[in-house]
Amino acid sequence: MTTSLLIYARAVHFASGMVLLGVVAFRWLVFLPVFAGESEEVWQKFLPLLRKLSALFIGSGIFLIISGFALFWAVAAGMSDMSLTESLNRETFSTVLLLTQFGTVCQLRLGLAVLLGAMMWSLSREHWLTRSQSSWLEAGAGLVAMALVASVAWTGHAAAAGGFAFWWRVLADTAHLLATSIWPTGLLPFALFLGCARRIENPALLRPVLAVAQRFSHVSFITVWILMASGLMNTWFMVGSLSALANTDYGHLLCLKLALFIIILVIAARNRYRLVPLLTSSANPAEKDHFFKLVRYLQNFVTIEFLLALAIVLVVSVLGITPPPH
């Protein structure tokens, strides 16, 4: 029971934090730069999308905070060698929170969670996502979510290392988590954008939709290299050899994660080098129907990529409780 809560709480915590950050990253890095020069009429057509992103932002923030408490509960039960029910008391929680290294990190994370909650409440009152201007409070909430996601690295296997290796492991974990928040997590708001665009099917949207697809492709391409570099660093630190990769439970899970990642990369490469060029050649009013048909295909493949990314998050959650060979 405790192990199950630990796995699923970690998975929800990772996913919700990355989705929150992914919404902010998609708006700042992709959507707003493209739509800043568009007319008010075109902007208004995407208000349904912006409302969905607002709900996704607030919802993922709520899940991030709740799952953080669930994660602390599961770890506290495991550290005290009690069942979940037995550990649900003030003495156990205060001991773990105040007298352990994990608790010290959790105190910082608790403060970040309170700050994020206050920011989300303020943003929800402002209805900021329906505006064409960016909000510094939104950026602040994204940075706090980034810190919450990144601070998980301080409670994982990296925290078990000492000395200089500790900082390298934490750096690699942090870079990996933050890059994942942009891609493939950013695939979710991108898929919502494509769904909104193909339902409108307005010739005036051909240029901005194409521009968003191209810009997202460029951002993803850069992020993939960061993911691969940080992933290789993590693998070297945690596994250390090919034999350990092939002959340990940790290595097997890592291979499963790698296999899922390769499948996502294959789909992403097809989107970048096949579908996006087809969109480019079809971005004219005479081929409007064909253009939005391609948008639908792109949305379907992007959705598949995101679902595979969720599977990776679950594998990572299991990796978090599996002893590494190195």
Residue located via tokens 């954008």 = 193
> Against a cut of 0.85, is the pTM above it?
yes
Measured from the Cβ of residue 51, the count of other Cβ atoms closer than 10 Å reads 13
- Displacement of CA 137 from its chain's centroid (Å): 20
According to DSSP, residue 323 is labeled P
Cα–Cα dist 295/276, whole Å: 9
What six digits make up the tokens of 117?
């909650």
- Ramachandran region, residue 15 (left: φ > 0; alpha: ψ -120 to 50; beta: rest): alpha
Mapped onto helix, strand or coil, the DSSP state of residue 100 is coil
pLDDT at res. 158: 54
Tokens of 187: 């695939």
Distance between first and last Cα of the chain: 28
Q: Yes or no: say if 193 and 212 are a contact pair by the CB < 8 Å rule.
A: yes
The per-residue DSSP string of 41-92 comes to HHHHHTHHHHHHHHHHHHHHHHHHHHHHHHHHHHHHHHHTT--HHHH-SHHH
DSSP H or E stretch at residue 190 = helix 187-200
Cα→Cα distances 198→47, 116, 195, Å: 14, 34, 5
**Torsion, Cα of 274, 232, 253, 75 (10° steps):** -120
108 sits in the region (left: phi over 0; alpha: psi -120 to 50; else beta) called: alpha
Sign of the torsion angle spanned by Cα atoms 248, 306, 182, 52: negative
Q: How many residues does the chain have?
A: 326
HSE at residue 14, side-chain half, CA atoms within 13 A, is 31
Placement of tokens 């010739």 in the chain: 203
- For the residues of 197-242, what is the DSSP string, one character each? HHHH--GGGHHHHHHHHHHHHHHHHHHHHHHHHHHHHHHHHHT-SH
In the chain (326 residues long), the average pLDDT of successive 10-residue segments reads 82 86 87 81 83 87 86 84 82 83 81 85 71 70 79 63 64 80 89 90 82 92 88 73 74 88 93 91 82 92 94 86 71
Domain boundaries defined on the chain: 2-319
